[in-house]
Chains A and B, each alone.
Chain A
């Protein structure tokens, strides 16, 4: 049996589901885009003059069923495509505007984004990457530069944020250049678009537009209900699940109306507990992991892929960082969240620390081992070996040769953690995991060469960015 962690009984899952339907029927969900309001009306959904849509429960259930149960995140290299389903857990790196170096934070740049993509390209446990932001570029153009940094430095799929309608249209052009045209893009898109509802109960104009512009290309929609618990959703985990579930469901309904069968990732796993004294949204807090696990269970109820975030509120790569990452990683993983983003994350989700990516890589290895559980078969019971080795014998001898094949699967190795004797550790310089991870980052960035993108495609991407730059300067 593969271990699975369930916080909710089936009755409780139903209770939350019914609560969400009630919220959507009685309170409603506001769609700020006038275009979206009409699209909903045309589909038979009641939208009032303030743009608030109230959904018949049957309509919600009907449209949510149309969303596929698995979503493919396509990579530049098809062998690195990521299949998201709710019976497997993928891992992704985190995002940020700052890079932490030597315990100091500095704004991330285009070059940092390139290096981040490169590091992610190398780390095996990273199934797909997230961007960090090219803040040295003009505000209007950051998204396009992020896109370029990612596609030129990794062949893996990546999560992309678009900040405007103009930006997403350019980014679709760039993606089309990579995949050989918009028709091809419909079949294989390397990026996918994430939009979070504004809790409580609002889809912004920007989100509505992004969903609409990307729908024809079948680019997966990452539909998020992401509240601050106690601030923009009530303070209980149950009510937060009910509200964010309603938000995500309404987004999925809208996306299915835009394009039936559009791949959607259902996300209520980024929800933030709030520090009730300072108002800050927390990310590394264990309650975040619990909510994400509840969200994963709701997603399995709808047979949709889900996600969550492993994170820390710590500013440095210390013990708090270690334990928060472990808890917020392991709890949703055991609940079978389809993917967990956040490897390398630091300082809430404002920053990344390259050495955290190395350390989190090791944490994820151990999480994956946990997910593999305990395999009990006639073979793994090793009765013959126990008898052969006998009383007082050793299982390191050839008498136990038939058990050696289990070694890779049953044990874990460390890449940067220390399990040496004190003497050996002293000889190696008596340094801790952060220092070793830091050295590893330098080594990888110096030696790893991602598969380059075709020069003509890079040229096309640069042309698109230049055009956007000219338009932007004109507006100034």
Chain B
């Protein structure tokens, strides 16, 4: 294995370990030695986050470890994205998502984990925050035309808001312009089916793979 390949392999391990400083340092070395930034993303960062995803899915990781790895990847991307643009290359984006916690609900721990993982998996994410009125979701879907609209609700009193968003999208005739995913401890597959959502995920890792399926990438 060449030195560059060795370092890229090291980078993917550092993502798994959530070692941001180490990762940033290796990325800078790799760029200095003329490595292709697209390859660094693909074989270094993305490979690492995939391992993390698998481990979390098996129940082997704490959320804190998941979040640290996602942060490492995001910090790495912050260095590499301008480098890619400099070379007039394009970073393939997996997709785009607008996400928020519905009106009346201020829970966001889970949503923030979803955002971290989506970003780490190549999604552009716009976070509308918490207590988001139905109209704001609609406005942002119209304005940004994301692939995915993510709705989070943790309380049984606020779950009906997910239905309201669906109804609004339908009545405005833009329901088919976006794939809607619902989540949060109060949601479940039956409810998602009932309101006609495109997807429901119980955890952030499943959410990413379901989103990819919905968009038609893998």
A residues with a Cβ closer than 8 A to B are 97-98, 107, 133, 135, 139, 142, 163, 198, 204, 228, 230-232, 274, 276-280, 350
Residue in A97, A107, A231 whose CB lies within 8 Å of B109: A231
**Which residue in chain A gives the minimum CB-CB distance to B65?**
A276
**Which residue in chain B gives the minimum CB-CB distance to A278?**
B203
Contacts of B113 in A (CB 8 A): 279
Q: Are A280 and B61 in contact (CB under 8 A)?
A: no
Tell me, in angstroms, the Cα distance from A133 to B157 when the chains sit together: 10
- In the complex, 20 of the A-B residue pairs with CB atoms within 8 angstroms, ordered by the A residue number, are A97-B156, A107-B156, A133-B156, A135-B156, A139-B160, A198-B106, A204-B106, A228-B109, A230-B64, A276-B63, A277-B56, A277-B59, A277-B61, A278-B63, A278-B203, A279-B63, A279-B109, A279-B110, A279-B113, A280-B185
Contacts of B109 in A (CB 8 A): 228, 231-232, 274, 279
Q: Are A98 and B63 in contact (CB under 8 A)?
A: no
User: How many pairs of A and B residues are in contact by the CB < 8 Å rule?
Assistant: 34
Closest-CB distance, A261 to chain B (whole angstroms): 31
Closest-CB distance, A73 to chain B (whole angstroms): 25
Contacts of A163 in B (CB 8 A): 157
Residue in B64, B157, B203 whose CB lies within 8 Å of A276: B64
Q: Are A139 and B157 in contact (CB under 8 A)?
A: yes
Tell me, in angstroms, the Cα distance from A314 to B154 when the chains sit together: 18
Tell me, in angstroms, the Cα distance from A97 to B154 when the chains sit together: 13
Instruction: Give me 15 other A-B pairs in contact (C-beta within 8 A), A276-B62, A276-B63 excluded.
Output: A97-B156, A98-B156, A133-B156, A133-B157, A139-B157, A198-B106, A204-B106, A228-B109, A277-B59, A277-B61, A277-B62, A278-B63, A279-B63, A279-B110, A280-B185
For B98-116 the 0/1 string (1 means CB < 8 A from A) is 0000000010011001000
Q: Are B157 and A277 in contact (CB under 8 A)?
A: no
Tell me, in angstroms, the Cα distance from A98 to B61 when the chains sit together: 32
Closest-CB distance, A219 to chain B (whole angstroms): 22
**Which residue in chain A gives the minimum CB-CB distance to B56?**
A277
Tell me, in angstroms, the Cα distance from A293 to B15 when the chains sit together: 40
Tell me, in angstroms, the Cα distance from A218 to B63 when the chains sit together: 44
**Which residue in chain A gives the minimum CB-CB distance to B113?**
A279
**Which residue in chain B gives the minimum CB-CB distance to A163?**
B157
Contacts of A142 in B (CB 8 A): 157
Tell me, in angstroms, the Cα distance from A276 to B110 when the chains sit together: 11
Q: Are B156 and A350 in contact (CB under 8 A)?
A: yes
**Which residue in chain A gives the minimum CB-CB distance to B159?**
A97
Residue in B63, B110, B156 whose CB lies within 8 Å of A277: B63
Tell me, in angstroms, the Cα distance from A163 to B156 when the chains sit together: 14
Contacts of B203 in A (CB 8 A): 278
Contacts of B61 in A (CB 8 A): 277
**Which residue in chain B gives the minimum CB-CB distance to A235?**
B64
Closest 9 CB pairs of A and B: A97-B156, A276-B62, A231-B109, A279-B110, A279-B109, A276-B63, A198-B106, A279-B63, A277-B59
**Which residue in chain A gives the minimum CB-CB distance to B111?**
A279
